[in-house]
Structure 1
C-alpha cells in the first residue's frame, strides 16, 4: 500500500476530511519531495503540493502523486491558497500538525480560511514512519557504511595536539567525500574531561596524551541518517579508564544481544542499565538506551526507564549507553541497529573493543 493510501486510511479513522502538513521530514516521507519551503494538503478528494516558483520544477519531478500548486508569495498568502482548495472541494475540516506548526503560521491560515474546522493532530505521519520498509533500511545501511569508513579514515590522522574542531572537520570532510549529503547532526567530538558532557561541542581544545576522545556522529544518505559513537584513548590508558570503558562496553553488548521485537522501551533500556548498576556507574549514566532514527536523527521509538513504546520488526534504533562523570570524563558506545523478530541486525560495524591511539 502506498504511503498516501495508508495516510488516507488513518485520516478516515480519525474523521479528518483533510490534513495540512508543514514538517519537512513528514512531507518528504509522504511525497518524496527533497526540498524546503513547501506544504501538503491531502484529502480523499485530492492531493495538493503547495510551493513557489523556486521549487515548482523540482516538485513536479518528485511529487508525481500530487497536483503542484505554484503560489505567488507576493500576492497570495498560504492561508488564501489553502482556503481556495477547501472551498473548491467542499472540505469542512482540516487537521494540522500541532507538534510542528508554529503559532503564527496557524493563526495566519485560520484568518484566511472562511468555513472549516481546524483539528489538532499529533503523530499521524510519525506512526507511519515508526517501522522502516526495505528501501529505507538499505538507505540507512548506506549511511552507516559511510560513517564507518569516514571514522576509519579519521583514525589514520588524529593525533595528540590536533584540536577537537580540526578532527571534527576531518571527519565531516571524509563523510562528504564518501557520498554523504552532510552530517546527520552536529558532530560531537570532545576530549579529556569534556567527555563527561554527552552533547559537548568541538572546540579549539587540543587533544592530549591520556585523553578519552568521544566521537558521536552520523551521515545523511538520500535523506536517511546514521548515528554512531565510539570512545577511544589517546596514547595510554589508566586503570580507571579501562574499568569504565569495559563496563560501558559490556552494557552496550548486552543491549544489542538482548534487544528484539516485542520489548518496551523500558525493557530494552534495562538490558544495559542492569550492567551499569552492577558496576556502580548507573548514577552517572544517561539513563536512556537510545532512540529511533530515520529521516530524523531522533524519532520514535524511544528507550528509557519510563518509556512504553513497543519495539517492532523494522524499527531502526540506536543502542548507546553512556557514563558521564563531571570533571573527570565519560564513555559512550553506540550502534545503529534494525529490530528483527528474535533480535537485531547491527548496521554500524566499527570495532568496539578498547582502542588506544598512539
Structure 2
C-alpha cells in the first residue's frame, strides 16, 4: 500500500466528513496499492482493504498480504462496513455503476467524485519517469515508421507497423487503439484505420501511445504527403502555431486550463478555422489516457507544477481533411517541457 498517497486521500475524507471511501476504478487501485488488479478498494480512517474475486486473490495476497480480502460479491464489502460500524461512504460517481451504488443504499452515500483524480493530477517523480519512458518508446517507434509514410501504403498497414514498433521499442501494449486517418477520413477525430491507400497531396493523421508499467503516453502527428500547396501549408501552420503559442503561454501556478484552451481558439480564429475545432484542447495523461487536468473552455483549474497533459489543437473539415497536432507537456516550477519532442515535426 502507498501510505503517503492514502494519507493524502484521508485528508480529503476529513474535509468531506466521511467514514470511508469505496473505489472501483482499476487505476485508483493501482495508484494506492501498486498492483494491477480488478476489485474494490475500501479506505477507512484506520485501514485499507482490497476486495477481489478468486481470479485475482492469489496475486493480491502475495503483493498485499493481510490487506487482501477474498470477495464473491458486493455483500462482502457491505458486511465489512457494517462490522466496522461505518456509516457515511464516499463514492466517485463517475467510476461507480448504478447497481453498485444501489447496493449501498442502507448507508449515507456521499459524492466523492474526482477526489482521487485531483491527487493523481500532480505527478510524483517515479510517475513522471514512467510516462517519459512511454513517451520515448512512442517517439522511437514513430522514428522507425516515419520513412514508410508514403503514398500507396494503407491506413491499416501503417497502423500495424506502428503497433509492432511500439512493442519493439519497449511498450507493453498500445495505450489505446492506434488511429491512422488519411484524406477525408482525417475529418473524423476517432477514425479507425481502413484499407484506404494514402494518396499524394493529402494529410495523414496518426494518433497513438505507449503503455509501460501502468502509465501511458499520447501523441498525434499530421503529415502532408507529396506536394505542399500554399493552401495546405497555411492550414497546417495554423494548427502548428496554435499548439506552439498555447504551450509557450503556460505559467505554472498562474495559468488556468481554460486560458490555454482560449489561446488555441484565438489563434485558429485568425485563420477563420476555429469553427472546425470540435473538441477540447487537451487532457491529463497518466494511469489513464484521459484524466485531470482537462484543458477545455470551462475548466478554471490552475495548472500546477508536475502536471502532465496534452495540447492537441485540430481542425476537421467534413469530407475534405483533418489536421491534429498533439504533444504532452510536463510543467515545472517556472516553465514547461515537451516530452519526447520529435525533430521531424516543424512548421512548413
Displacement of 1:44 after TM fit?
A: 1.6
Q: Distance in 2 between matches of 1:176 and 1:140?
A: 16
Deviations 1:323-351 (A, max 9, x none): 11112112111110111233211103113
Q: Gaps (5+ residues) in structure 2?
A: none
* Aligned: 1:15 with 2:17: yes
Displacement of 1:184 after TM fit?
A: 1.2
1:88 aligns to what? 83
1:69 aligns to what? 69
1:54 aligns to what? 55
- Which SS does the other structure have where 1:91 is aligned? coil
Give the alignment's TM-score, normalised by structure 1. 0.91
Q: Distance in 1 between matches of 2:296 and 2:182?
A: 26
Displacement of 1:281 after TM fit?
A: 1.5
Aligned-CA RMSD value: 1.8
Cα pair 1:45 1:89 within 8 Å, conserved: no
* Aligned: 1:6 with 2:8: yes
Q: Distance in 1 between matches of 2:251 and 2:60?
A: 39
Q: Distance in 1 between matches of 2:209 and 2:63?
A: 26
Cα pair 2:29 2:37 within 8 Å, conserved: no
* Aligned: 1:264 with 2:256: yes
Structure-to-structure mapping, 1:22-61, within 5 angstroms: 22-36=24-38, 38-61=39-62
1:100 aligns to what? 95
- Which SS does the other structure have where 2:54 is aligned? coil
Deviations 1:248-300 (A, max 9, x none): 11111112211221211121122222221112212212363211111111111
2:232 aligns to what? 241
1:212 aligns to what? 203
Q: Gaps (5+ residues) in structure 1?
A: none
Cα pair 2:312 2:327 within 8 Å, conserved: yes
Q: Distance in 2 between matches of 1:177 and 1:143?
A: 12
* Aligned: 1:149 with 2:153: no
Q: Distance in 1 between matches of 2:104 and 2:299?
A: 35
Q: Distance in 2 between matches of 1:63 and 1:334?
A: 38
Structure 1 segments, 4+ long, off by >4 Å, are none
Give the alignment's TM-score, normalised by structure 2. 0.93
- Which SS does the other structure have where 1:2 is aligned? helix
Q: Distance in 2 between matches of 1:273 and 1:198?
A: 17
Within the candidate set 284, 298, 301, 2:290 is matched to 298
Alpha-carbon distance change, 326 to 85 in structure 1, aligned in 2, over 3 angstroms: same
Q: Distance in 1 between matches of 2:64 and 2:172?
A: 21
Q: Distance in 2 between matches of 1:68 and 1:305?
A: 42
